[in-house]
Amino acid sequence: MRDRQINQMILDKLEAKDIPMHVKGFIGEILQHENGGIDQERPQYTRTYDNLLNKFMLQQDEARINHGETE
């Protein structure tokens, strides 16, 4: 449960950045993670960041495969 949203200015700037989608997704999730939720223990951020890195590398692979299939 979280009530304090991330400042929209930060999210708008992230959206406007000319960087690959998987990098945006990674940044978006680590920001959400840092903003946190009250029903979690204070996270071990390095472990969580590692997991998010793996998640978005996988996303990058999937995007490459889909792009290859389209071509």
Give the angle subtended at the CA of 34 by the CAs of 56 and 57, to the nearest 5°. 5
Q: Which token pair is 23?
A: 């990098």
State the burial class of residue 14 (Cβ atoms within 10 Å of its Cβ: 0-12, 13-18, 19+): middle
Sketch the per residue contact string, 38 through 67, with another protein: x for CB under 8 A, - otherwise.
xx-xx--xx--xx--x--xx--x-------
| SS3 of residue 52 by DSSP | helix
3, 35 Cβ separation under 8 angstroms? no
Sketch the per residue contact string, 6 through 45, with another protein: x for CB under 8 A, - otherwise.
xxxxx--xx--x-xx-xx--xx--xx--xxxxxx-xx--x
CB of 7 to another protein, least distance (A): 4
Which residues make up the interface to another protein (CB under 8 A)?
1-10, 13-14, 17, 19-20, 22-23, 26-27, 30-31, 34-39, 41-42, 45-46, 49-50, 53, 56-57, 60
